[in-house]
Structure 1
Amino acid sequence: MDVELGIQNVARPVNFTTEDSADQVSKKIAQAVAIHEPIDLVDDKDRHIVVPAGALGYAIIGSETKHAVGFGAL
């Protein structure tokens, strides 16, 4: 799952891939924003991405489908 987080007053978004589903990521973000606590997400390399809820500008949660990479024979 590809995730992009836009942070207020930061020029570049934070992009990462996670094993969590779109619903899990969305719920974690919504809960953190609702109670004004840091958003804590884990990427596919077990690194924590922590963003203050008040600094979140936007979140784009990508599709869960895996895309083939490389050349395929037809």
Structure 2
Amino acid sequence: MDIRIGIANTARELAFESAQTAAEVEKIVEKALTAGDVFVKLADDKGKVYIVPAAGIAYIEVGGGETRRVGFVA
């Protein structure tokens, strides 16, 4: 699953691939924002953990991982 997080007052976004499903990511973010948690914690498919301040989140985009084609395009 591709995840892109826009952070307020930052020109770049945080982008990574995760083994978590879209529903799991949505549940984690929704819980953090409604419960007033300080941080949102997500993990990528390589074992890295990303901790983002909940107050600084501008947007989160969760999309299906696109399969990459191998070979030449004519």
TM-score normalized by structure 1?
Answer: 0.88
**Any gaps of 5 or more consecutive residues in structure 1?**
none
Aligned residues: percent identity? Answer: 30
Structure 1 residue 61 corresponds to structure 2 residue 62: yes
Question: In the alignment, which residue of structure 2 is the partner of 1:36?
Answer: 36
3-state SS of the aligned residue for 2:55?
Answer: helix
**Any gaps of 5 or more consecutive residues in structure 2?**
none
3-state SS of the aligned residue for 2:70?
Answer: coil
Mapped partners of 2:52, 2:7: distance in 1: 8
Question: In the alignment, which residue of structure 2 is the partner of 1:11?
Answer: 11
Cα RMSD of the aligned pairs, angstroms, is 1.3
* Moved >3 Å (runs of 4+): none
